[in-house]
Structure 1
Amino acid sequence: MAEFLTDIETLRSRARLEMEKGPVTDAYGADLDRVLQVLNEALATELVCVLRYKRHYYTASGLYSEPVAAEFLEHAGEEQEHADKLAKRIVQLGGEPDFNPDTLTKRSHAQYDESLNLIDMIKEDLVAERVAIASYTEIAKWLGDGDPTTRRVFEDLLAQEEEHADDLRGLLERIPQDQGGL
């Protein structure tokens, strides 16, 4: 049987101290304030992505727009789920999720886009997904073993962002580049 690094009585005693911190114990190895800041930046990124995908869903038009708009709507829903997961983790860590619309785009890693051309919409969404992939990869590496739960949240989001990027790349390959505005 493997031995614990800390004896069980010490673990039990420590668990009773600072109970108001919930899941954040002495074993937490990350910079909590910085983790909360990074989580709130990711939350802003996801919310901006929801808004961008919704805008593209409602404004997509032309010959190829129906399947593309359906993809935009699906991605908007998944980005909202990402935002919800991030907000939940912020609260678990004792922080406050920042939904302030006045500063949302300033905190977001991705940009909002108002393109009206279907090809441009897909390209801008693909750029935003690639930004999220790069950001979330760096964040997961940075978190390492200091906060494995938050790292797994980002790894889960990363997997879906990669899927979104692949979907968008596929759409670009299927739509003639001169047909984006039809």
Structure 2
Amino acid sequence: MHELDTEYYEIEPSASTRELLAVAKLYAREVAESYGLSVDVSALEWEVSKRAKRRAGAVRHRNGEPETVLLTWEQFQRQGWRATAETVRHELIHVHLLNEADDPSHGERFRSLAEDLQTTVHCERFAEPNWWVVCAECGGKLARYRRSKLVMEPSSYRCGGCGGALFVEENVG
């Protein structure tokens, strides 16, 4: 297995968004070349989101064509460069699979490449939710970051796991 050198690109959380993007693009080029991914890093727009809370990154695409790689500022601030580098690898897999198979999913091809590129299929939570939707029966919890209909009217919904009644707890941190 090829070992990825994230330390060479290490950048401190005190860096600017511009610096983060510059390092992320350089790192992405090395990863794409090292693993033979069909990704033209220069052809993509690269952006940082300061609003995202639930996802560490995303690839925006239109008609199967990858256009933008989005990285989340809060993940970088809270978890540092290593976590962001893992997100870069994750998003490069999406770009590659869009280019090769018009496949933006986290399916079998994605999971296989994720193992090769030492990244996860889903990121761990890096921001505290504002609310928890809790099942009164099984105790299952769903994190919620926005004031949605589920948060405002939990009695209109049932637990997807056991069918139990739901209630909302405000997260006090």
Taking structure 1 as the reference length, the TM-score comes to 0.25
Structure with the bigger percentage of helix = 1
- Greater RCO (CA < 8 Å, at least 6 residues apart): 1
- Select the structure that is richer in strand: 2
TM-score normalised by the chain length of structure 2? 0.26
